[in-house]
Amino acid sequence: MAHEVVRRIEEVSALLAATAPETEGLGRLSDKSVELIREAGVMRLLQPRDFGGYAAHPADFAEAVMAVARNCGSTGWVCGVGGVHPWEMALMDRRLQAEVWGDDPDTWIASPYAPQGIATPVDGGYVLKGRWNFSSGTDHCDWIFLGALVAGPDGTPQQPLKGLHVVLPRSDYTIVPDSWDVIGLCGTGSKDIVVDGAFVPDYRTIDSAEVAEGEKAAERAGRSDTVYRLPFWAMFPLGITAAVIGIAEGALAAHLDYQRERVTAMGTKIKDDPYVLSAIGEAAAEIGASRTQLLDGISRLYDKADGGQPITFEDRAVVRRNQTRCAWRAVAAVDEIFARSGGNAVRRHNVMQRFWRDAHVGLQHAIHTPGSIYHTAALTSMGIEPEGGLRALI
């Protein structure tokens, strides 16, 4: 049975699709798109119940993101990225959770997590400086997660490196205008963020390595719901890849609508062309396989955590391998059907070209970089323990 949030999204799918051109033109989510997402409750799926959320199964979250992205890729992307932030916020100090959600459980939180800033220890916390790229949906958020490296005595990152996720209110950072000028996912408004010496109290920080493991952070935060015991590098990629697969599903639906009555310049009806129909069937199977494998991976981890079993590094590596492959398989399928859509598919009024652009830009995210992930998963499958950089992002 579909989660109630997924059903709400499906009920307003036509409205969401209608907002997509405005969202792309604005370079951020349209006001109507934000309203629809808030009313459906997508951003609260992974939020803890004591602060107005659902603490839902992560597969339900992925389903909701795909349902949004099928209609508007940019809105789906913001839901996929921003929708994970309440999950991590649940692992933070309760004082911070009350600050963020105490007055409004629909408060949104931005990121990025890349450690592009330096956090210098001071009495009671840190002083943060840096500039970060790719803060998706940031115009609509009142708080932000940022990745940072802890500084040593000389002001450079301490050795060995120690990473933090720090949380700041909107008053402590600057959104750089006009810093998101791209060819796809234009409406995500993934702008740059600048912080110049903001003080971050200790309780608004968390060790990024602890979050990566999952279990320890949940225990420290007193969170018993299974979803909060999952590792970060399973949860964060889930939302992003779900958006890409949803975009691929949207491209397939648009392609089918376009091809149904299409006649080529040579007078051939597409519905009578066995070669195009074969390509459509194969692409649909590949996109469907991507969806199934993504949901299966996170469900397997959830079931292990729910059963009290440890999630091993090999488990994490295999799920990351499959999640990465899901994205590449789905986008390759979009390429196959787009190549058979004829020259009119590239016209701005044809939604096919927007889905095609959004899919490729979504594939550019770091979590979809396959080389080291495949390498590491192969080693773990051989019983060999990967070391150093091969363990990154897993």
Q: Which of 79, 106, 133 is the last residue of a domain?
A: 106
Are residues 279 and 370 part of one domain? yes
Are residues 128 and 35 part of one domain? no
Euclidean distance between CA atoms 110 and 170, whole angstroms = 10
**Cβ neighbourhood burial of 374 (10 Å; 0-12, 13-18, 19+):** middle
Are residues 243 and 372 part of one domain? yes
Are residues 68 and 155 part of one domain? no
Are residues 119 and 95 part of one domain? no
Euclidean distance between CA atoms 28 and 252, whole angstroms = 24
Alpha-helical segments (H) within 41-84: 58-69, 73-82
Q: Is residue 315 a part of any domain in this protein?
A: yes
Are residues 239 and 153 part of one domain? no
Q: Under 8 Å CB-to-CB from 3, ≥6 apart: which residues?
A: 45, 54, 56, 57, 60, 63, 64
Q: Is residue 213 a part of any domain in this protein?
A: no
Q: What are the distances in angstroms from CA 226 to CA 215, 294, 299, 366?
A: 9, 18, 11, 27
- Total domains present in the chain: 3
Give the domain extent around 132. Answer: 109-206
Q: Is residue 382 a part of any domain in this protein?
A: yes
Model confidence, pTM: 0.97
Q: Which of 173, 190, 206 is the last residue of a domain?
A: 206
Q: What is the CATH number of the domain that holds 56?
A: 1.10.540.10
Q: Is residue 41 a part of any domain in this protein?
A: yes
Euclidean distance between CA atoms 67 and 37, whole angstroms = 11
Q: Is residue 218 a part of any domain in this protein?
A: no
pLDDT at residue 1, rounded to an integer? 56
Are residues 67 and 147 part of one domain? no
Are residues 248 and 363 part of one domain? yes
**DSSP conformation class of 372:** H
- Residue 147 sits at φ, ψ, to 5 deg, of -85, 140
Are residues 361 and 239 part of one domain? yes
Q: Is residue 216 a part of any domain in this protein?
A: no
pLDDT beneath 70, residues of the chain: 1
Are residues 379 and 288 part of one domain? yes
Q: Is residue 225 a part of any domain in this protein?
A: no
Euclidean distance between CA atoms 234 and 225, whole angstroms = 16
Are residues 274 and 182 part of one domain? no
pLDDT at residue 133, rounded to an integer? 98
Please state whether beta strands 125-135 and 191-201 pair in parallel, antiparallel, or not at all (unpaired): antiparallel
Give the tens place of pLDDT for each residue, 223-251. Answer: 999 999 999 999 999 999 999 999 999 99
Q: Is residue 224 a part of any domain in this protein?
A: no
Q: Which of 222, 106, 96 lies closest to 167, judged by CA?
A: 96
Are residues 102 and 8 part of one domain? yes
Q: What is the CATH number of the domain that holds 152?
A: 2.40.110.10
Q: Which of 64, 79, 106 is the last residue of a domain?
A: 106
10 Å Cβ neighbour count for 98?
12
pLDDT at residue 215, rounded to an integer? 87
Residue 194's DSSP bridge partners are 131, 174
Is-contact 272 261, C-beta < 8 A? no
Is-contact 141 170, C-beta < 8 A? yes
Q: What is the CATH number of the domain that holds 236?
A: 1.20.140.10
